Structure 1
Amino acid sequence: MNALPDPATIQAEVLPRRRKPWLLMAAPALLLAGVGGWLWLGQTGSVSTDNAYVQQDRVSISADVTGRVEQVLVRESQPVQRGQVIIRLADEPFRIALAEAEARLASARLQVAELTTGTTGRRADVDARRDAVRFAAQELDRQQKLVADGFATRARLQAAESALTQAQAALASALADEAGAAARANVALRGTHPLILAAQAARDRAAFDLSRTIIKAPADGIATQTTKVLPGQVMATGIPTMAIMLGANPYVEANFKETDLEPMRPGQTAEIVLDAYPGSPLRGRVESIGAGTGSEFSVLPAQNATGNWVKVVQRVPVRIALVGPPTVPLIAGLSATVTIDTSR
């Protein structure tokens, strides 16, 4: 007769069988948790974005005067130096305008010169008026004596008194005219007469406009977009055409998500990997964090005060300055991946 199995032995054999399905189900979850933890630990202390581009400061070239292009003296991607002539405008209209302005200045000086010659005439008039007053005074004195001796009527005396009064008034008027003429002549001699000043300003403006028909490079750099300026076309005042890329200090503008900004500080180190040169990473540092998101400076800013609002993670431009000279050619607009070390 066979012996019955021990219940304790049966229970010990069943328990491992029950545990195995639970272990199989928990294994993937544990694996995912481990991988996630490893990734989280690996990413702690840094933030990264591939929304980054090489940038260079540029100066747009425009004309100070409207004129027809006569010569374009640079070609695309040509290095230029500050003060180098890059465009010449047709200057004949401006030379004519300068000649007209100089003629008006000469005319104004002649008009003012006449004021100085008028002073001599005023002085002669004053001398004549003084003689008239002297004669009238003598005549009045003579009539007074004749009336006292009974040889003249009182009417003659009154006429002599009236003549003296009129002569004195005429002298006073002549003296005032002489003083005014002298003041005007003094202004003319100093060259501060309004007619001369206005003509000089017009002449200086015409000379300035003529000088601006020669357009020079405002800084050292590389000429770009030169095909926007062709001989024969008219350059309008203040309208940008070609540009000068200032290649001395290239930088990278990285657009980070707003959720990445909290640990970020100016001065932190960064690694820059250009898509064009993935094997030549560059070193950089955070120079500044933008004062506004990209949408704030767009042509048509987003209007969030509507009923159909959808929250979108905003991006903030962060300027990354290069540390040391670049080891590869940096072209404005190249894409890059930027990783910032936020642990320090």
Structure 2
Amino acid sequence: MNARPDNIETATDTPVPAPAPQATDAETTARPPRGRRRALMISVPLLLALAGAGAWLFGGRYISTDNAYIHQPMTTISADVSGRVSDVLVTENQQITAGTPLFRLDPTDYEIALATADAQLASARLAVEQQRATYQTAQAQLQASQNIEDVKSRELKRQQELTDRGIGTQASLDEAMIAFRSASNAVTLAQRQVDAAATALGGDPQAKADTLPSVRAALAARQSAERHLEQTNITAATGGTVSQIESLNVGAFLAAGTGIAKLVDNSQTWVEANFKETQIADLTPGQPVTIEVDAYPGMELHGTVDSFASATGSQFSLIPAQNATGNWVKVVQRVPVRIQITDTPDRPLRDGMSVSVSVDTGHNRLEGLK
């Protein structure tokens, strides 16, 4: 058997690993050092945290909300008296001025009422004249009764003297006494009639008729009837735009006080912004406000904080929330803030438009921490 040379490798010998490839100069340059990588991992979050803290500290100067709306005075148009519509004098969305006739009611019933009031006034004045005549008659009766009393008094005195001298009889004296007392009673009764007639004239027989209570009542009734007749012509209390007038038709019957249309006064405009209750601590009247109108992109108005509502919006709702229950959940409330617009917009603003507002408080959070 031939011996195997020592320098010959067999298949069963362990393979020698190949030498590792050497990195090129380009790869060595592109790979960042491990220390620099760690520095980046620490510095980037730190810088972000510092930037966020700085933004928070130097922020808070502007308090904003998009829960804000344009408001204008809105008046409900109604009639003060009942009646059937005879004329409609305006159209939907018509611009009008104060005093413009809106519609009319049939005045027939109110014309009759005015004529009746005129008759009652004339009757009251006539009654006063009759009372004056009664007073004068009572005075004449009083004067006549006083004259008769004087005569009967003198007759009684004569009979008394004759009786004292023994010439007259006791019967004649008694008759004279009875006649005098009867005349005195007539004077008293006539005086009562004069007083009653004077009382009917308000205690002053010389007073003018229109100052007496009965005539004044008739005058008031006539003025009321005249006013009701005038109220059949409904006019605009203010200027603005007429809305929802299309439901008013000739021949429709309107009850007094029934709202049948709206009048929006475009000459007065303000913003009602509903800020969160957590935002109003830094708000004060007079602070400047920037207003952006959703309907007009790019349009920017300016205003000032005018006033704050006396309660949150939920308290003004028809059914305020009842929190005294076991299912109570705390909800951030909204406080209505009135903002006065100081600019004159070049485009029309309409009641109910959505806006976004930003109030400049004049200081940031960092100043508040000092």
Q: TM-score range by the shorter chain?
A: 0.7 to 0.9
Partner Cα separation in structure 2 for residue 252 and residue 134 of structure 1: 90
- Change over 3 Å in CA distance of 1:294–1:199 after alignment to 2: same
CA contact (8 A) 1:115 1:188 kept: no
Contact kept in structure 1, 2:128 and 2:209, CA below 8 Å: no
Q: 1:256 aligns to what?
A: 275
1:84 correspondence with 2:100: yes
Q: Does 1:211 align with 2:230?
A: yes
Once the 2 structures are TM-superposed, how far is the Cα of residue 38 of structure 1 from its aligned partner?
A: 6.3
Q: 1:187/1:94 Cα in 2 relative to 1: closer, same or farther (>3 Å)? A: farther
CA displacement, residues 101-160 of structure 1 (integer Å, 9 cap, x when unaligned): 111111122222111112332233224323432332343344335435545431221221
Counterpart of 2:242, as a letter, is A
Q: Which amino acid aligns with 2:260?
A: T
More moved, 200-209 vs 329-338: 329-338
What are the within-5 Å matches in structure 2 for residues 8-19 of structure 1?
Answer: none
The equivalent residue for 1:282 is 301
Structure 2 Cα separation of the partners of residues 221 and 209 of structure 1: 25
Distance 1:188 1:59 in 2: 47
Distance 1:320 1:298 in 2: 21
Match of 1:46 in 2: 62
Q: Match of 2:260?
A: 241
**1:12-37 Cα deviation digits (max 9, x unpaired):** xxxx9987896687577547535644
**Matched AA of 1:245:** V
Is 1:201 the counterpart of 2:229? The answer is no
Amino acid of the residue matched to residue 74 of structure 2? R
- For 1:67 and 1:217, the matched residues in 2 are separated by 18
- Which of the numbers 106, 115, 119 marks the counterpart of 2:131? 115
Distance 2:196 2:123 in 1: 22
- Kindly report which structure 2 residues correspond to 1:10-159, keeping only aligned pairs within 5 A, or say none: 29-30=45-46, 33=49, 36-37=52-53, 40=56, 43-148=59-164, 150-159=166-175
How many Å apart are 1:298 and its aligned residue? 0.4
Question: Shift of the alpha carbon at 1:249?
Answer: 2.5
Aligned partners of 1:273 and 1:189: how far apart in 2?
68
Instruction: Give the TM-score taking structure 1 as reference length.
Output: 0.85
The residue aligned with 1:11 is: none
Residue 338 of structure 2: aligned partner: 319
In structure 1, list runs of 5 or more residues that go unmatched. Answer: 1-15
**TM-score, normalised with respect to structure 2:** 0.80
Displacement, 1:209? 0.7
* Correspondence for 2:179: 163
SS of 2:173's equivalent in the other structure is: helix
- 3-state SS, counterpart of residue 211 of structure 2: coil
Are residues 101 and 30 of structure 1, via their aligned partners in 2, closer, same or farther at CA, if it must alter by over 3 Å?
A: same
CA distance in 2, matches of 1:75, 1:39: 55
**1:7 matched residue in structure 2:** none
Deviation at 1:218, TM superposition (A): 0.8
Give the residue type in structure 1 aligned to 2:123. Answer: S
Superposed displacement of residue 237, structure 1: 2.1
> In the alignment, is the contact (CA less than 8 A) between 2:209 and 2:215 conserved in 1?
no
3-state SS in 2 of match to 1:249:
coil
Residue 11 of structure 2 aligns with which residue?
none
Paired amino acid for 1:219: T
CA contact (8 A) 2:277 2:335 kept: yes
CA distance in 2, matches of 1:256, 1:281: 20
**Which residue matches 1:8?**
none
Residues 80 and 223, structure 1, Cα contact 8 Å, conserved in 2 = yes
Is it true that 1:338 corresponds to 2:357 in the alignment? yes
